Structure 1
Amino acid sequence: MTAASTSSLSMDSWPTGRLLSTAARLVEHSWNQKLAGVGLTHAGVIVLDVLSATEEPMSQAMIAQRVRVRNPTMGKTLSRLEARGHIRRQPSPSDGRSHVVSITDLGARALIEAHEVDRTVLTRAPVDGDKLRKELQTIVVLLASSAREITSGDR
């Protein structure tokens, strides 16, 4: 028996959550390797996606909330993006003590390149990438709405 067939047999007993989290880590690692040439990480792409979807600059806290990470984690990602010139932080017009974040032209170009990279991450996998995306979107929507229901019930 080959190592590949042995590992697939052992995965038959893995819970779905373990399969999903392992696949996510491996895809993220592959994506990060490919994104290095663009000067981004997967976390950076996610932030740039959020910023490109809005006309107005956003606070760090708002970006963290939309991305579903803690504020300090977002701060590290924003620092890397700012150092590469992909985002701009400036004082908030409504509150001079805080800052707002916006995507730069360089960040917008990097995001376009990152989307091209994204199309290549699963090219070696014998799966229908579009179907997988739809199924993952369904899972995210369902579980996100369940999480909101639980959280709102705690109030």
Structure 2
Amino acid sequence: MRTDFEVDIARRINAGVAAYTERVRSKRAGLLTLTQTAVLGQLYRHGAMTPGEIAERLRAKPQTLTRVLAALQERGRIARTPDPSDGRQSLITITVGGRAALGEEMRPRHLFAAELIASELTDAERDLLTIAAGLLERLAAAGDPPVRAEP
């Protein structure tokens, strides 16, 4: 059982991350839908996945992603290949064009965040935030299934 202090810290971190994410997420290029961005982001960070694995990571139903995956494939942002371990499945990978589109979509967010950090935080706070970013990345990856090798 966690102490009230530990639970309060977790609540403050969750609230702060959520509020920050909402603010930064509004800055976008508009080249991709939020769901397309999420799918490409998963593929960029974790490598090849089946549609079911993508859906699981996004906490969505595979049927929900059918149109999104079709649209991304039609635009050359993802590629499908047979899963070597299960021929009934396909593996989805992000293409060079998908990486470029994701980068363009995320650039306004990153620029906005960089400006916000530069204008609102001291050098010491920026250093601390860099450490916190690494810790948040580690917590976000805790318990993730291993990354699959690209086909």
User: The TM-score by the shorter chain falls in which range?
Assistant: 0.5 to 0.7
1:83 aligned partner = 71
**Partner Cα distance (2:66, 2:42) in 1:** 8
- Equivalent residue for 2:28? 35
User: Structure 1, unaligned stretches of length 5 or more?
Assistant: 1-13, 149-155
* Mapping 1:20-31, distance limit 5 Å: 20-31=13-24
CA shift for structure 1 position 98:
0.6
Q: Which secondary structure state, in structure 2, belongs to the residue aligned with residue 101 of structure 1?
A: strand
The equivalent of 2:138 in structure 1 is 141
Q: How far apart are 1:69 and its partner, in Å? A: 5.1
Q: Which moved more, 1:95-104 or 1:119-128?
A: 119-128
Aligned-residue CA RMSD in angstroms? 3.7
Judged with a 3 Å threshold, the aligned counterparts in structure 2 of structure 1 residues 97 and 106 are, in CA distance, closer, same or farther, namely: same
Equivalent residue, structure 2, for 1:97: 88
Cα gap change, 1:113/1:95 in structure 2, threshold over 3 Å: closer, same or farther?
same
- How many residue pairs end up in the alignment? 127
Higher-RCO chain (CA-CA 8 Å, sequence separation at least 6): 2
Query: What displacement does 1:47 show?
Result: 1.3
Gaps of 5+ in 2: 1-6, 145-151
1:124 counterpart = 2:116: yes
User: Deviation string for 1:37-59 (max 9, x for gaps)?
Assistant: 231436245314225xx5xx433
Question: When the two structures are superposed, what TM-score results if normalisation uses the length of structure 1?
Answer: 0.56
Give the 4+ runs in structure 1 shifted more than 3 A. 60-65, 68-72, 74-79, 128-131, 142-145
Q: Give 1:23 shift.
A: 2.1
Shift of 1:133: 3.5
SS at 1:117's partner residue? helix
Instruction: Tell me if 1:18 matches 2:11.
Output: yes
- Give TM-score scaled by structure 2 length: 0.57
Quote the sequence identity (%). 24
Letter in 2 for 1:28: T
- 1:108 corresponding residue in structure 2: 99
